[in-house]
Amino acid sequence: MKISKISIYPVKSLTAIDLSSSVVTPRGLRHDRRSMIVDAAGNLLSQREHPELATLHAEADESAVVIKSNRDASTEWRLDGVEYAERRKVTVWTSQVEAVYAPEVINAWLSDYLGNPAFLVYMPEDSKRPINAKHNRGGEIVSFADGYPVLLTSSASLSELNQRMGNPVEMERFRPNLVVEGADAFAEDEWKRIKIGAVTFRITKPCARCVVTTINQKTGEKEGMEPLKSLAAFRKAGDVYPDRYEQFGLAPNDVLFGTNLVAETTRGSISNGDSLEVLK
């Protein structure tokens, strides 16, 4: 088994950047989901409400966040001096964390693009968002990802799903950080601890999927109820884990695809082609 794809999402809900390698940090892969877009109340704006976010592309490094649209327009936020910028509490699902707000000109650009008040925020280094207490072994943190630092999927699992559908979907619908090839379909259901290259990861819980998987990640358009409809036929948590779904904090009708990871080695790096070894 080996890693066939590495992706990050510098701004949550925007398109992915595919990498040949990435540094693993305590929050996840470097630059992954360190920024997000919020409304006037500081609540996350995602593709669930704004599928057109899929038409925005973000790039980021230590010095800047750049957002480009398919309308040939772009905006850039230089992060120099970001530690002195305005800070407020923002909300990601059930958790709150302090974030830095982008300058007004950038937020005006986003608001115009989305047709609603929108604000770009960044998670500074001294802002710590813990993962779910149910799976936190002490001091484990995450960026603006839904709940856990790294999401892994399997190409064989996607292949089995696509065989059950009239129109196949691409892996981009599931927005993973890591894709593994060479594993049996849904073998990841039973993994507890893995090693990728020199980095070890603990599996926390399966990933329950939402309506974002029904959005075409190239056009930003919702396309019916697939793949959720087909997943529901054979991947409900109550069917996959009849005696354990509650241990994961899942509802019996949650549909599953992929698994969430926490890095135990938080200063290493991983590359495409790295072997994946199941330790437990």
Residue 129 lies in a domain: no
For residue 175, what are the domain limits? Answer: 150-278
Using one digit for the tens of pLDDT, what is the confidence trace for 5-59? 999 999 999 999 999 999 999 999 999 999 999 999 999 999 999 999 999 999 9
Using one digit for the tens of pLDDT, what is the confidence trace for 148-157? 999 999 999 9
pLDDT at 81: 85
The residue type of 129 is: R
One domain for residues 166 and 265: yes
Residue 156 lies in a domain: yes
Residue 55 lies in a domain: yes
Region 85-104: mean pLDDT is 95
The dihedral region occupied by 175, where left means phi > 0, alpha psi between -120 and 50, and beta the remainder, is left
One domain for residues 178 and 274: yes
- CA-nearest of 127, 105, 99, 126 to 37 is 99
Instruction: Please tell me the distance from the alpha carbon of residue 224 to that of residue 221, in angstroms, as a whole number.
Output: 10
Query: Which letter does DSSP use for residue 43 in this model?
Result: B
One domain for residues 267 and 154: yes
> What pLDDT band is residue 85 in, cutting at 50, 70 and 90?
confident
Using one digit for the tens of pLDDT, what is the confidence trace for 225-239? 999 999 999 999 999
Residue 138 lies in a domain: no
One domain for residues 159 and 251: yes
Coil/strand/helix, residue 280: coil
pLDDT at 83: 79
One domain for residues 116 and 60: yes
Q: Nearest 5°: phi and psi at 213? A: -65, -15
Residue 1 lies in a domain: no
Retrieve residue 20's tokens: 């040949």
What is the tally of structural domains in the chain? 2
Residue 181 lies in a domain: yes
Residue 236 lies in a domain: yes
Angle formed at CA 123 by CA 118 and CA 129, multiple of 5 degrees? 115
Instruction: Please tell me the distance from the alpha carbon of residue 8 to that of residue 18, in angstroms, as a whole number.
Output: 7
